C-alpha cells in the first residue's frame, strides 16, 4: 500500500492507495472508528451496481451498521434538492453527530457527499472512496465540496477535509474508456506544471497506464496525489499557490461553456486548453517549441483531442470576460515555463484571443 500524507496541520489526513483496497475497508474503519458509529455510504446508480455490495459487506463484516443512499449518476444530481433528500434520510434514521459519511464514486458523488458531511450537524467525519481516474488524481485532493445552483457551477460549497481517502486502483478497470482518457488529461497536467521526471515517465509509459498495468496505475495515481497534495498543503485557503493547477483550464472552461457542457468531457477540454496555453506560452517567449511539441504529442498519443477549432476562438471572448479568476480587466492565465513548471501571466481577454487566433 502506498500512503500519502496531505499535510494540513490538525486536519492532516492520509491517502491510502492499493489495488483491491475496497475489500479491506472494514479493517481501515476499525483502525480509526468505533463500531458504535453508524456509516452512510452514498453512491450513484452505476457505481452501486458494481461496488456497493462489496463495500457494505466489508463494513458489516467488521461490525459496522451501514446505510446506503443511491443518487442518479451525472452532474444533474449536483443540486441542493438532492442534498436535502439526503438530510431527510439522515434525520429519519436519527443519524448522530458521529455518523461516518462515505462517498463511493466519481467527482459528482465526492462533491455532494463531502458537502453533506461538512454541513450535517455542523460537520461529521467524511471518507472518500474515489472510483474514477479524475476523482482519484484530482478532485479527491484539496477538500472542495459543493453543488451547482441556478445554472452556476459549484456556487454553493465549503472546503472540508476527509478523515482519509482510500483509493482502489482496481476500480479503474470498469471505468468507461472515455472517462479514463479524460482523467489522463489532469495526469498530464500535473507533470506539465510540476514535475519534469513524471512527465518523462508518462511519455515512456502511457501505454502501460492505458493497459491498466497495476504498477503503473499505482505510480501514476500516487504521484499525482503527491503532487496535488504538495500544492494544496502549500496554500490551503489562499488560491495563489493553487492557481497553477488551472493550467489549460481558462480555455477549457470557456470551451465547455460554449458547447453547453455537452460536447467535451472536462478532461478533453483541458487537453485542448493545455495545448492552446502551451502555444500561447511559446508565442510570448515563456517556453520552447519542444515543450509544446512534447505536450501535444503525449496528449494525442493518449487519444485526447488537442485541436482548438478556429470558429470557437472569437466566441471565447464573452466566456473569458466571465472568468472568475479575473483581477481587474486581466485574466490570470497560466503559462508553461518549460516542462514541469508553470507561472501566472496576467493578460487582457482581447490580447489572449488575438494570441489564440494566431496559433
Q: Which of residues 19-58 bind ligand ADP (CB under 6 A)?
A: 44, 46-47, 50
Phi-psi region of 151 (alpha: psi -120 to 50; beta: other; left: phi over 0): left
Distance CA 127, CA 169 (A): 17
Please report which residue ranges of 99-195 form alpha helices under DSSP H: 107-119, 133-134, 177-194
Q: How many residues bind ligand ADP (CB under 6 A)?
A: 19
Strands 164-167, 326-327: pairing kind: unpaired
d(CA 126, CA 114): 6
At 22 the three-state DSSP class reads helix
- In the complex with ligand ADP, the residue whose CB is nearer, 12 or 76, is 76
Site map for ligand ADP, 92-111, x if CB under 6 A?
Answer: -------------xxxxx--
Which residues, 155 to 194, sit near ligand ADP by CB under 6 A?
171, 174-175, 179
CA 126 to chain centre: 17
Of 169 and 226, the one with the shorter C-beta distance to ligand ADP is 169
- Minimum CB distance to ligand ADP, residue 43 (Å): 8
Taking a C-beta distance cutoff of 8 angstroms, is the pair 143, 111 a contact?
no
Per CB under 6 A, 131 contacts ligand ADP: yes
Closer to ligand ADP by CB, 17 or 171: give it.
171
Neighbouring C-beta atoms of residue 138, cutoff 10 Å: 25
How is residue 35 written as a grid cell?
463500531
Report, in Å, the least distance between residue 164 CB and ligand ADP: 19
Give the separation between CA 321 and CA 77, rounded to whole angstroms.
28
How far apart are the C-alpha atoms of 95 and 119, rounded to whole Å? 13
Give min distance, CB of 73 to ligand ADP, in A.
Answer: 4
Shortest CB 257 distance to ligand ADP, Å: 17
At which residue does the C-alpha cell 494525442 appear? 300
Q: Which stretch binds ligand ADP (CB under 6 A): 89-97, 126-134, 211-219, 345-353?
A: 126-134
Neighbouring CB atoms inside 10 A of 135's CB total 25
State the residue for C-alpha cell 460537520: 123
Give the residue with the Cβ less far from ligand ADP, 21 or 132: 132
HSE-up (13 A, CA, CB side) for residue 194: 24
Could you say which residues in the range 135-154 bind ligand ADP, by CB under 6 A?
135
Cβ-based nearer residue to ligand ADP, 44 or 236: 44
Which CB atom, from 175 or from 292, has the smaller least distance to ligand ADP? 175
Q: Which stretch binds ligand ADP (CB under 6 A): 114-122, 132-140, 195-203, 341-349?
A: 132-140
Indicate the pairing of strand 39-44 with strand 100-105. parallel
Residue number, 201 or 261, with CB nearest to ligand ADP: 261
Using Cβ positions, the residue closest to ligand ADP within the complex turns out to be 106
CB of 182 to ligand ADP, least distance (A): 7
Report d(CA 118, CA 126) in Å as an integer: 8
Nearer to ligand ADP, 131 or 163 (CB): 131
User: Applying CB under 6 A, which of residues 58, 73, 258, 308 lies at the interface with ligand ADP?
Assistant: 73
Length of the chain: 359
| For helices 266-283 and 177-194, angle between their N-to-C axes, nearest 10 degrees | 30
Least Å from the CB of residue 218 to ligand ADP: 16
Q: Is 18 in the site for ligand ADP (CB under 6 A)?
A: no
Q: Of 73 and 117, which has the nearer Cβ to ligand ADP?
A: 73
List residues near ligand ADP by CB under 6 A: 44, 46-47, 50, 73-74, 105-109, 131-132, 134-135, 171, 174-175, 179
Amino acid at each position: 500500500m502506498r500512503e500519502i500524507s496531505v499535510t494540513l496541520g490538525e486536519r492532516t489526513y492520509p491517502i491510502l492507495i492499493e489495488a483491491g483496497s475496497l475489500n479491506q475497508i472494514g479493517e481501515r474503519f476499525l483502525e480509526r472508528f468505533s463500531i458504535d458509529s453508524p456509516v452512510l455510504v452514498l453512491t450513484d446508480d452505476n457505481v452501486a451496481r458494481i461496488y456497493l455490495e462489496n463495500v457494505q459487506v466489508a463494513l458489516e463484516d467488521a461490525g459496522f451498521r451501514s446505510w446506503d443512499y443511491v443518487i442518479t449518476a451525472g452532474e444533474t444530481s449536483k443540486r441542493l434538492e438532492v442534498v436535502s433528500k439526503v438530510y431527510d434520510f439522515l434525520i429519519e434514521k436519527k443519524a448522530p453527530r458521529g455518523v461516518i459519511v462515505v462517498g463511493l464514486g466519481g467527482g459528482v458523488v465526492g462533491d455532494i457527499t463531502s458537502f453533506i458531511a461538512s454541513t450535517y450537524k455542523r460537520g461529521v467525519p467524511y471518507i472518500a472512496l474515489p472510483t474514477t481516474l479524475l476523482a482519484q488524481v484530482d478532485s479527491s485532493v484539496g477538500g472542495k465540496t459543493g453543488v451547482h445552483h441556478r445554472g452556476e457551477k459549484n456556487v454553493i460549497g465549503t472546503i472540508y477535509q476527509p478523515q482519509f481517502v482510500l483509493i482502489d486502483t482496481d476500480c479503474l478497470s470498469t471505468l468507461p474508456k472515455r472517462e479514463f482518457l479524460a482523467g489522463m488529461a489532469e495526469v498530464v497536467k500535473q507533470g506539465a506544471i510540476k514535475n519534469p521526471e513524471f512527465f518523462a515517465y508518462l511519455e515512456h509509459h502511457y501505454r502501460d497506464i492505458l493497459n491498466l498495468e497495476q504498477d503503473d496505475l499505482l505510480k501514476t495515481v500516487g504521484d499525482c496525489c503527491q503532487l496535488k497534495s504538495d500544492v494544496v498543503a502549500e496554500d490551503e485557503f489562499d488560491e495563489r499557490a493553487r492557481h497553477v493547477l488551472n493550467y489549460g483550464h481558462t480555455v477549457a472552461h470557456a470551451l465547455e461553456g460554449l458547447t453547453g457542457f455537452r460536447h467535451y468531457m472536462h478532461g478533453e477540454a483541458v487537453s485542448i486548453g493545455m495545448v492552446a496555453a502551451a502555444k500561447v506560452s511559446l508565442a510570448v517567449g515563456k517556453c520552447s517549441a519542444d515543450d509544446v511539441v512534447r505536450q501535444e504529442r503525449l496528449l494525442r498519443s493518449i487519444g485526447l483531442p488537442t485541436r482548438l477549432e478556429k470558429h470557437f476562438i472569437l466566441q471565447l471572448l464573452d466566456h473569458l470576460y466571465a472568468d472568475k479568476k479575473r483581477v481587474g480587466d486581466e485574466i490570470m492565465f497560466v503559462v508553461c515555463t518549460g516542462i514541469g513548471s508553470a507561472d501566472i501571466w496576467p493578460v487582457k481577454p482581447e490580447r489572449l484571443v488575438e494570441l489564440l487566433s494566431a496559433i
